[in-house]
Amino acid sequence: MQDDAQFVEHAFDGDVHVLRINNAPVNTLRTGVRAGLLAGIQRCTREGARAIVLIGNGRMFSAGAEMTEFNKPRQPPSLPEVFEAIEHSKIPIVAAIHGSALGGGLELALACHARVALASAQLGLPEVKRGFVPGAGGTQRLPRLIGGEAALKIIVTGEPVRAAEALKLGIIDAIIEGDLEHGAVGWAREAAKSGRKFVLARHRADRIEGADMAAFDAAATALLKRARGQESPKGCVAAVRAALTAPFDEGLLVERQQFSRLVEGEQSFALRHIFFGEREVLRVPGMPADTQPLPVKNTVVIGAGTMGGGIAMNFCNVGMPVTVVETSQEALDRGLAKCHANWERTVTSGRLSQAEFEKRKGLLKGSTSLDVVKDADLVIEAIYEDMGAKKELFAKLDALARPGVVLASNTSTLDIDAIASATKRPELVVGMHFFSPANIMRLLEIVRGKASSMAAIATAMDVGKRIGKLNVVVGNCDGFVGNRITGKRGPQMEALLLEGALPQDIDRVMEGYGMAMGPCATGDLAGLDIGAAVRRARGTTAPIADALVAMGRYGQKTGKGWYMYDEKRTRLPDPIVEATILDLAEKSQVRRRKIEDSEILERLLLPMVNEGAKILEEGIASRAIDIDVIFCNGFGWPAWRGGPMFWADRMGLKNVRDKLAQYAAATNDPNLKPCALIERLAAEGGSFANSGTRKAA
């Protein structure tokens, strides 16, 4: 066990002392760090420091509280005790920020007498994304520095701000160029010599006096519209409101009450489950620790359509060159123009500079010849979903690409092993399943075929990380993990509609659960004709959806699908859809009935859980958390619900088993019969979370 001095290094630069947080990799404020800071401040005081610079070792200032210490007995000193020591210090303490100052890390900086940062630094309070509010004074100090509405936006969204914006707002006092520690020491020394009057954030009142509470409440209402049932944004609003309407100590009490209430709640457990899960999925069971990715500098994407263009944009966005290939100049020009238009919209919105746009545009090249594959370090295929076409293309790519180059397919459903069989390098063929829109969606399913080598998987993971994606390695089967599980919801939706529900009932229940859009609205957005094409390829049917497609109702693009749409694309219930459902129910001799919301929710979610359990049985997913992370990042599942397997664990697998069996008996649907893993875990009193891991097939 390290002692406190090892967590916080004490250094000297003349009469300015430096305290360096040393808790790799992200300098969380664990017990040893808090104790080290308190001891360091006391030592600096004893030894007559003129100023103190507080800085982080490694890649950042501090990522905040150590969440593994949550729900455990807290060991002293607490963060408020450290902050009290800072604020009572007669020696000015300057926080020097590089990398990130997040959560408790930013709260630590806010308690200091002043803050300086590198231009590349970012500062934020992301606690709302973990299901609680900042709990060490962030909701009280930040408004006093920058005003209520500005602080509210940062705290309720949880989004960080860059140093330039932080300086403009008043969070930091200066931007340092060059070496941060050297510059911060010089800044602190000069400030101390000049007799600068430091005013602590807790003593500031100029930015909150006479606050326009009507404007504040309007801003809060607008921000809360995005919450969709999540409780922590409401707690943040209450805490920040207290900063504007109550003395500092009373505001701290409100903040602490909100923190304590929320951190013990179900939503916070779910959000932390996903937070830690997103780190767990990066560890691939069975991959040797010394596995190295192959070097990738030049990437070629085959196909400049919606997916291919979006995939290519990811590379340019992070400064990596990419070439897209199309079969005709017309198709290529159309694809490149769409990429340019997407970036131009971002420039217009102010989120991208013109110079950065020009840089990205310069990195995006196009070709109508596959010969460019000869110079590629990685090839990603993104053509239409047809096995024959993909196998023919991969045979050509295999002949053109250099030995040792990975060939990846963006297929969302097709057999990676069958695609790999068209090549002489099956060990270098993997799936890289991007989610649409590919330039925005964070999730990347990396599909491992039977022959895929660990080096090929590591290469796909490395590239995914470099372009900002969250990688989840999965096994090879029809639909992989996400689409295979979601596919089990469709038949239940059709059955519920025949039995008594309407599209607006389905969507109301799912959106009430927290989904951004219900499945019917999502189908209309994606295009009902696309789903119909997939069913035709698989030899399956969906009687109601197929009937709508036969009527030319493809969704929003035709102005009618499950719903009808006005000129603003507002969805409206359509009597024609209801009549179609009633007619099919009569022809199928289904007696319609009133269906409770609870049944709609369970009938839609339980078959997904059942399929997820089968995927775990087969080793297609290594862990239940892999499935939850996929759904929260790729399918609009609210992170504060924790994912389908988390939901099932919280329900209790005995209840899951019994409900599945009940619905299977009532509907004669074999898909609702609880699978062997659920039966076993229910009998043992177990859970998905503790069921162990398996190597992905």
Which residue from 190, 188, 216, 407 is spatially nearest to 294, judged by alpha carbons?
Answer: 407
d(Cα 554, Cα 527) in Å, to the nearest integer?
5
177 CB-contact burial (10 Å; exposed 0-12 / middle 13-18 / buried 19+): exposed
d(Cα 648, Cα 666) in Å, to the nearest integer?
21
Which residue from 553, 565, 505, 497 is spatially nearest to 527, judged by alpha carbons?
Answer: 553
d(Cα 596, Cα 66) in Å, to the nearest integer?
43
Which residue out of 107, 231, 278, 599 is catalytically annotated?
107
The tally of CA atoms less than 13 A away on the side-chain side of residue 132 is 26
Q: Phi, psi (5° rounding) for residue 593?
A: -150, 170
Q: 3-class DSSP state for residue 62?
A: strand
Compute, in degrees rounded to 10, the torsion defined by CA atoms 581, 582, 585, 590: 130
Q: 3-class DSSP state for residue 693?
A: coil
Q: State the SS3 of 244-311.
A: HHCCHHHHHHHHHHHHHHHHCCHHHHHHHHHHHHHHHCCCCCCCCCCCCCCCCCCEEEECCCHHHHHH
Is 107 among the residues known to form the active site? yes
Identify the H or E element spanning 113.
Answer: none
> 534 - beta bridge partners?
none
Spell out the residues 6+ positions from residue 617 whose beta carbon is closer than 8 angstroms to its own: 675, 676, 677
- Structure-block tokens of residue 120: 């590349």
Q: State the SS3 of 473-515.
A: EEECCCCCCHHHHHCCHHHHHHHHHHHCCCHHHHHHHHHHHCC
Is 330 among the residues known to form the active site? no
Which residue from 405, 411, 431, 457 is spatially nearest to 285, judged by alpha carbons?
Answer: 457
Q: 3-class DSSP state for residue 386?
A: coil
Which residue from 133, 270, 125, 297 is spatially nearest to 629, judged by alpha carbons?
Answer: 270
350 touches 306 (CB < 8 A): no
Number of neighbouring beta carbons within 10 Å of residue 550: 9
Spell out the residues 6+ positions from residue 354 whose beta carbon is closer than 8 angstroms to its own: 347
Spell out the residues 6+ positions from residue 667 whose beta carbon is closer than 8 angstroms to its own: 495
Which residue out of 66, 127, 326, 599 is catalytically annotated?
127
Residues assigned a catalytic role? 107, 127
